[in-house]
Every structure is written in structure tokens, then in C-alpha cells.
Structure 1
């Protein structure tokens, strides 16, 4: 009996090992390639967690969307297919307009106003995600968004019919209002899309421009500073709640430090990345005045449309951000 009991106990212990092990080792799906500062922040966050927990929790970062593509990331975190992931929050706009507030053109064009907008919207986003079993960890902003083209443009009519890369519902709508034809293309597929003629222009950050070596397929970069989107890191709430209290505290403290690093890095790198576009032969300049004037109208239209969709919660966010 004792021998059989010991064997049964051993078997039970072995069966329990995978779940206990999984609680100590997490995977994180990161959208961007290793050289992108958003992925660097993710790796620093993982290293910070390991150090703060004395190795009790290890997070392995998988870059360049090798685990899950952007459209599938949130669902993967929600269902526990991966414990942690970072995603461009505005791509969730079709699910809830609150998520795309930072993609409304001209609402927040510099980092100070973008930070105020984030502080105004964070609690509302956290509540939405919490209802779906997700805990928000930290955000990292992209540089302000600019326009890349193969040919020079001087007025809004120059975009008419142009095949224009979009990456979420908000940028698709913006491109439509500009008179161009939107085509959704993930950042990793941008060079091929330009090479095959699928797109002729795009609105994105200097970071994506450098990552994709935009100088190989585009000649002009207009520093529109249309808006400042963010990637948000999130964790499966059940996985987080299964951690010991000390590890939970360490994760949240590391997330707070990651957010500060991310925002500081974005501020520092914006001009460096824009300069790199110019150093590689692109013509870099401000938005032509005629286009800037028409973009203001596009921004006003989209702000009105967003407020109608977002309702009272959206209005409260905008009011707080503008104080």
C-alpha cells in the first residue's frame, strides 16, 4: 500500500508540474522587430521582472509578431494562448471606439498632449479590458505620424486615387477623406507592398520608416505629425492573478518603469529617426500649407465622427485631456 501510495503521489506531482512551471515562465508576443525601441522596451521589461522576482518569473519575448499577428494578439492574450502581448491599441477600434482615441488626427500632435490624452483615457481602457479578462500593463508611443510618397505632393488633390497604406480603421477613414484609396498592410509587409505596386504612399512613423528602410521605395517624407498612436502591453488577468502577491507587485512596478522608459525613448528617438530618413536620401520636410489646411478639416470631421461613436465616455476623455 505504501509503495502504491508513493507511486500515486509521485504521478500526481508530475502531472502538476506543467501548470506550476507555466506560472513561472511566460511568453510575450511583441509586434515589432528587435531593433525597434518598442521591442527593446519589452525586453527590458522582461529583464526587469526577472531581476525583481529573483528569477521566480521569467518572460520570454518573441519579437516581430512571430507568435501572433496584430489582428489576433488581443484574443490570444484574452484566451491565454500567450500570457503577455503588445499591440497597437487603435487596431481594436472596430471593437470599441475608445481604443482608437489616439488615432483621431490632430487631436494630440506632440508628446505632452499625447501623454495627457493617455492619462485621460487609460482608466476607461483598463475597465474595458478587465471585463474581458485582460490587465493593462503599460503603453509606449510611436513617433508622430508622417506621410511617405514616391512623388512630391503640394495639395490634397495630389492624393486623389493614390493607393495609400492604412493600418487600422482610423487611418483608413483618414485616407478616404484625403481622396486616396486605403489598403491595409502590416508594417512588416510594407516594402513588398510598395515593390509590387499594392501601395504608393503611407502614413506612419519615422520608426516604421527606418525599420522598413523606406528610402528604398519612397522618396519623400512629410513630417505631418498627424497623431501619436501607442502600443499597449497587456497580460492575461488569470495568469497575473495566479502569481504570488510579491510577483504581482514586481510586475506592476516593472510595467510602470517600462512606460516611463518607453515615453522617454520615443521623445529622444523621434528626431534621430527622422534625421536617418534624410541621411539615407529621402527628401524630408514639413507638410505643404495647402495640405495642412485640408488636413485640419479632415481632423475636425473625424473628431466629430469619433465623438458620436464613443458617446459620453469619449466626451469625458476629450474634456479631461483638454484641461
Structure 2
């Protein structure tokens, strides 16, 4: 047995101090515990670079969330596929490897054709039509995602898709046999129907793909063209305005539900603001990036009547093919779109 050899007088004098110190330490421990319980750090993978307007909008979204929650929810953006590659983002969020992420909606077309509805040529080829299509499709797509333990926060469109080449495109026949970059099922299918040879290439890899001869043309937005310096490897941009594909931000349902109610509300409010801001930014992006390409020597043209006719015929065929895969749900979506 170990005896306390401290004199009784000293022990009596130190007892109040020790009691007070114990109380202070207990309060400090509880305060730290409460802080750790409230503060949440999330990592958010995104596919595109820091200067891309989608990433800029998402950075503002995360700042808004941080400010609204007084730092209780702090989301770190990992751009350019630096944390998780684009093709893995959706499943990584679904499995809980990361709580939140951004991806292009039509990437999910192979698992459900409804996610491809915004990439059918000429179904919605301007911002007003694209917004109406989004209002008609948002609820059904949200339910599809909920079935995979994902919650849709917001979606923002790319500028209208056009055709980039090393030659003028007047009828579409010029594209036969050309190696064309694709990024989703629709762009791959359109390339095939034009007689081109589609090759899947992610945005960060576009310059290298052209430099090595993997592709010689592409269908994409003015934003992607300017951001990847298309004038270094291409000469023409046809502003065909084929469709406006959307990027969407999704969150793991379990991660979302684990947040305090006030934090969930702040996240949803920031998402609503980000969607509105993003649609306006996309409109401004179209004009700004077309001008940048023109200033750097890209010849920008509007589609000829012959090319429009050819592309719309392909679009009608792709719509029928899409409806065949989407079935009654696809038909109901298009009917809801027609009533917007």
C-alpha cells in the first residue's frame, strides 16, 4: 500500500485548488467534445479545373455553407479529378468514400436512360428550353438518385454544345471517318450517326488527345474549348447548339442526415443559390468564351440550313431511340416537358 506522505496541512490547503482545477479541466473537455461533435469536414471531388465556371460556382457554394454554419460544415473542393476521377465520383459518394461530389448527369445514362434526357440533340437547345426540361425532370431524377442513397442538391448546365474541327462543316458529311472526342453516350451516338469514330476523352486529357492524334474533332461547349485552348490544335467552331448537358452535385444521404437540422437547411439554401447563380454564369460563359476563341483565331460560324436539317434528323432518330430505352417513364417526362 502506497501512503500519501504529503503533510496534512498542505493537503488541506491544496484541496480547493485541485477541486477548482478539476472543474476547469472538465469544462474544457466538454467544450472540446462539443466542438468536435459539431464541426464536420467534408472532401468534395470535382472533375474540372479551378478556373472552370462550374468549379468557381461550387467554390462559392462551399464558402456560403461555411459562412452560414459558422464553420461547422467545412467542405474542401478537390478539383480536376485530383482526389477521385470523374468516372468514379458518383459511386464514391454512394458508397460513402466521400460525402459529396460533382459529375455530369449524362454519365449515368448507361445505368438509367432518364439521366440522358438533357443530351438528346435539339430536344432542348437553348437556356429557356433547358430550364423547362430541368423543371420537368428534376423530381423523377431525384427519386432515382434516392434509390441509390444519393440526394440531389443542384444542377447547372454547360453552354450549348457545338462542333470543333480543323475544317469548315457545312453539311455534316465532312465528319465521316473523323476521329471525334466523346464524353457521354449521346455524344458517342451522335458521332457514330455522323459517320465519325468516337473516342471517350475526359476534359483534362483533351489537349494530349489531340496532340497524339487520338482525336481530330470534338463536340463540346465554348467553355471547354476556351479552357483547353482549342486554338492550339483546332481552327473551326460551329455553334450548332445541340444540347445543354448539366453537371449535378450529389450528397450521400447518410452523411446528409447525420448533420444537425440547421446545417442541413444551410446546405440546401446554399445549393438553391448555387443553382440560380450557376445558370446565369453559364449564359455569360457562352458569350465570353466564344469571344476568347475568336480573339485567338478560331473561326466561329453558325450552322448552315443543310447542317441544321441533317442534325435535326439525327436528333429525331436519337429521341425515338431514347424513348425506346426510357419507356413509359421517358414518355411521361417528355409530356411533362411539353406542358412547361
TM-score range, shorter chain: over 0.9
Alignment counterpart, residue 132 of structure 1, candidates 148, 151, 170: 148
Q: 1:319 aligns to what?
A: 335
Task: Please tell me whether residue 32 in structure 1 is matched to residue 48 in structure 2.
Answer: yes
Alignment counterpart, residue 48 of structure 1, candidates 51, 54, 64: 64
Structure 2 Cα separation of the partners of residues 102 and 31 of structure 1:
19
Q: 2:322 aligns to what?
A: 306
Structure 1 Cα separation of the partners of residues 237 and 51 of structure 2:
21
Alignment of 1:224-263 (within 5 A): 224-263=240-279
Alignment counterpart, residue 72 of structure 1, candidates 66, 88, 91: 88
Normalized against structure 2, the TM-score is what? 0.88
Q: 2:195 aligns to what?
A: 179
Could you report, residue by residue, the CA deviation over 1:52-109 in whole angstroms, capped at 9, with x for unpaired residues?
Answer: 1111110011111111112111000001111110100001100100111000010001
Is this contact kept in 2: 1:23–1:242, CA < 8 A?
no
The 3-state SS of whatever aligns with 2:109 is helix
Aligned structure 1 segments of 4 or more residues deviating by more than 4 angstroms:
20-23
Structure 1 Cα separation of the partners of residues 197 and 310 of structure 2:
17
Q: 2:225 aligns to what?
A: 209
Alignment counterpart, residue 277 of structure 1, candidates 281, 289, 293: 293
The alignment's C-alpha RMSD in Å is 1.8
Unpaired runs of at least 5, structure 1? 1-9
Normalized against structure 1, the TM-score is what? 0.93
Structure 2 Cα separation of the partners of residues 82 and 158 of structure 1:
44
Task: Please tell me whether residue 103 in structure 1 is matched to residue 105 in structure 2.
Answer: no
Structure 2 Cα separation of the partners of residues 157 and 56 of structure 1:
57
Q: 1:288 aligns to what?
A: 304
Is this contact kept in 2: 1:23–1:239, CA < 8 A?
no
Unpaired runs of at least 5, structure 2? 1-25
Is this contact kept in 1: 2:38–2:72, CA < 8 A?
no
Give 1 or 2 for the bigger CA radius of gyration.
2
The 3-state SS of whatever aligns with 2:286 is helix
Structure 1 Cα separation of the partners of residues 204 and 38 of structure 2:
30
Is this contact kept in 1: 2:39–2:71, CA < 8 A?
no
Q: 2:5 aligns to what?
A: none
Number of residues paired by the alignment? 310
